[in-house]
Structure 1
Amino acid sequence: MHGFIVLIYRDQRKGADSVTIREETEAIERQTFSRYATLSEHSRGRRGAEEQDPIRPCFQRDRDRILHCKAFRRLKQKTQVFLSPEGDHYRTRLTHTLEVSQIARTISRALRLNEDLTEAIALGHDLGHTPFGHAGERALNRLCPGGFTHFRQSLRVVDYLEKDGKGLNLSWEVRNGIITHTTGTWARTPEGCVVRRADHIAFLNHDIEDAVGAGVLDPRQIPPEATAVLGNTKSQRITTMITDLVEHSQNGRINFSPEVEAAYAVLKDFMYSTVYVDREAKREEKKVDKLIEGLYERLCGDPDLLPNFYLQIAYNEGVDRAATDYISGMSDEFATRLFVEWFVPQKWQVL
């Protein structure tokens, strides 16, 4: 169908100036997307002006930049829920991000929204997450003047920290979706709202699966008023929530039905009152506070330990900001290794 539209468009442009592949793709968007979708050609633009790519529309270009950046690669060794799990099948921040992207794209495609924009926001939404998941986030929030949240840090990563201070220069719509993906004000685009819903669908259902696999949750404990509406398995619940969202989203507003919204709230409250505070699953989190605090105080006390890029941040914005940026970007493994190097006595080797 899309190829047919392109042929028609090319035929209509015979005798006109040459048309780029990007312009052809933008023509497809105009003719196939919902009237509520965000068209690439209508983007509010970037913080720094750039020439358009001849092949990729702006949101596809943003998606590619995020996918190839260093912060995205580091997500593979950052905690999702369980700290440094030993099994092969527990989720990391990277697998969570990919699952959010898949769910969000499914919803956007069904609603005929802009999948490139949706995917770019989904892939970038957790780039600023700390090592050791929300335990690391809480530790930095306590230590950093002005506080710390991963969604604000995600925006700082794409705006400034990537590419040695140049940033990725993403479009306004992607940046808006990243900063609004968790709480508070909703995104100004339906695609950004889709990612926020997809994030909630993903983490809740996948955390249940990981908790069952870890032996900290018996699936029979899940409230029956939630399973009666959403389903008994992960697949059933995700399918129900996606289908309901597609059926009840209207006029560019991304909403569940009241019944599914209520069941989701029950399931979320259950997880926050049981799994997320489980003593066995969280017994290591007290150590995270000590580790993050140790790294932070050492770096603030001796800024020369910072890499050169972060030394520049310390000079321009203060050493506390530089220490926060450096620590928040670390993987679980790197933060642990650095702590051991600085604070754990090493064996004396006699030659």
Structure 2
Amino acid sequence: MIAPYASRPETSRGRLKPEEESHFRSCFQRDRDRIIHSSAFRRLKHKTQVFVEHEGDYYRTRLTHSIEVAQVARTISGALGLNQELTEAVALAHDLGHTPFGHTGEDVLDALMTPYGGFDHNAQALRIVTRLEQHYAEFDGLNLTWETLEGIAKHNGPVVGDLPWALAAYDARHDLELHTHASAEAQVAAIADDVAYNNHDLHDGLRAGLFTEADICDLPIVGACFAEVDARYPGLEEKRRRHEGLRRVFGVMVADVIDTSAALLQETGATSAQDIREHSGPVVRFSTPLWQDIQAIRSFLFQRMYRAPGVMEVRREVGQAVENLFAIYMKSPDLLPEAWHAELRQAPDDMVRRARSVSDYIAGMTDRFALQSNRQLCGGSTGDG
């Protein structure tokens, strides 16, 4: 049963370039499928969340994370009577714009791009699906529906003030109503991201030996979930105990979102997707008590994982690699692949255009390819010399 405030394919605002509709798939299904078949989506396989891609085969990558987010998002969306296909499309696309080396790469690239308009991974995702993917005969990008583009651009909330340049450039020719909230489906994709990474970062941190089960059992939510496992399965082997404990953490978070959001949606009295956009605040949320518990988990992960000495050392090294590559390509843009030369030849002395092309190229790299390029162009393991 689909709710009255759900996004409906038959009332979609359509695509920038009109296309004949499919007889077999809704417009949102086609969006999801185009995202899955894109080059940028495949590259997520070799872009990691926290750890660098070569450090281990079991750590989450941007690809596995996106799949986990989509699974959580479909569950929540279905329980709330929303359009699961649109939810899944936004969830699968939400990390397309990430650089190699996770947030480290993004922070470095944003600093390097400050004179040229900065770098923002959400805006870059929009740039990828509207321009940089170049496979179709009749258009650049994936020609996604307005609703999917809106979800990519503002799933974290209205975008106001100084817009990232890539977002501003697209919005100028295709108004995404950035001042409003996104659809409920896009809000679900955003909160599913929170659920997924808070859980899998605990799992990856345990696997990396950055902390132990005893450490995380002092955390809210987590301790109660592991206590439940111990009571039900006394003496359970460590690997199974870890999985059972963390899957319950997942369950607590998802159930809280569904219960809290169902009540909020009912209170709004919304009768259309546009009512959700124009509502005074987000309608997909955690309850206040659970959100406070999640903040405690985030604080723990920040101290024990994201800022762990070993992680920080790798962050320094890979950040240097991004700096090296940016400097080299800015100085010698002819080193970029031939496919990038046509854009640069249009205005060879335009440093803003050059910087944005260099940024696009580096942002699209996988961890492995960025390190390989750095070695080839700079020598050494990180290019420090």
Shorter-chain-normalised TM-score: which range? 0.7 to 0.9
C-alpha offsets along residues 253-274 of structure 1, whole Å, 9 cap, x if unaligned? 2122222121112212222233
Change (3 A) 1:135 1:225: closer
Unaligned runs of 5+ in 1: 1-31, 347-351
Query: 2:170: which partner in 1?
Result: none
Counterpart residue identity of residue 183, structure 2 = T
C-alpha offsets along residues 12-55 of structure 1, whole Å, 9 cap, x if unaligned? xxxxxxxxxxxxxxxxxxxx311121111111211222221222
Identity of aligned residues (%): 41
Query: 1:319: which partner in 2?
Result: 354
Query: 1:279: which partner in 2?
Result: 309
C-alpha offsets along residues 168-213 of structure 1, whole Å, 9 cap, x if unaligned? 0111111111122446658420000000000011011101100011
Structure 1 residue 210 corresponds to structure 2 residue 240: no
Matches within 5 A, 1:1-351: 32-144=1-113, 145-163=116-134, 166-182=140-156, 185=159, 187-222=181-216, 224=218, 226-227=220-221, 231-232=225-226, 233-249=245-261, 250-251=264-265, 253-314=283-344, 315=346, 318-344=353-379
Mean Cα displacement is larger for which, 323-332 or 306-315?
306-315
Conserved 8 A contact 2:156-2:187: no
The size of the alignment, in residue pairs, is: 315
C-alpha offsets along residues 110-131 of structure 1, whole Å, 9 cap, x if unaligned? 1121011011001111111101
**Offset, 1:85:** 4.4
Counterpart residue identity of residue 162, structure 1 = E
C-alpha offsets along residues 310-345 of structure 1, whole Å, 9 cap, x if unaligned? 223333661100000000001111111111111117
SS in 2 for 1:170: coil
Aligned partners of 2:92, 2:84: CA distance in 1, in Å? 12
Change (3 A) 1:230 1:257: farther
Counterpart residue identity of residue 309, structure 1 = A
Conserved 8 A contact 2:157-2:182: no
Change (3 A) 1:220 1:187: farther
Mean Cα displacement is larger for which, 50-59 or 310-319?
310-319
Aligned partners of 2:54, 2:336: CA distance in 1, in Å? 29
Counterpart residue identity of residue 235, structure 1 = R
Conserved 8 A contact 2:54-2:368: no
SS in 2 for 1:284: helix
Conserved 8 A contact 2:90-2:151: yes
Aligned partners of 1:237, 1:310: CA distance in 2, in Å? 46
- The TM-score normalised by the length of structure 1 is 0.84
Change (3 A) 1:281 1:182: farther
Aligned partners of 2:120, 2:105: CA distance in 1, in Å? 10
**Offset, 1:228:** 6.4
SS in 1 for 2:325: helix
Conserved 8 A contact 1:74-1:331: yes
Select the structure with the greater relative contact order (CA < 8 A; seq sep ≥ 6). Answer: 2
Aligned partners of 2:96, 2:370: CA distance in 1, in Å? 16
Unaligned runs of 5+ in 2: 160-179, 227-244, 266-275, 277-282
Conserved 8 A contact 2:256-2:287: yes
Aligned partners of 2:201, 2:317: CA distance in 1, in Å? 22
Aligned partners of 1:131, 1:83: CA distance in 2, in Å? 9
Aligned partners of 1:178, 1:204: CA distance in 2, in Å? 21
Aligned partners of 2:18, 2:158: CA distance in 1, in Å? 29
**Offset, 1:81:** 0.8
Aligned partners of 2:195, 2:14: CA distance in 1, in Å? 30
Mean Cα displacement is larger for which, 205-214 or 155-164?
155-164
Alignment RMSD? 2.1
Aligned partners of 2:202, 2:58: CA distance in 1, in Å? 13
- The TM-score normalised by the length of structure 2 is 0.77
Aligned partners of 1:258, 1:308: CA distance in 2, in Å? 53
SS in 1 for 2:221: helix
SS in 1 for 2:220: helix
Aligned partners of 2:48, 2:74: CA distance in 1, in Å? 24
Aligned partners of 2:289, 2:13: CA distance in 1, in Å? 36
Counterpart residue identity of residue 158, structure 1 = V
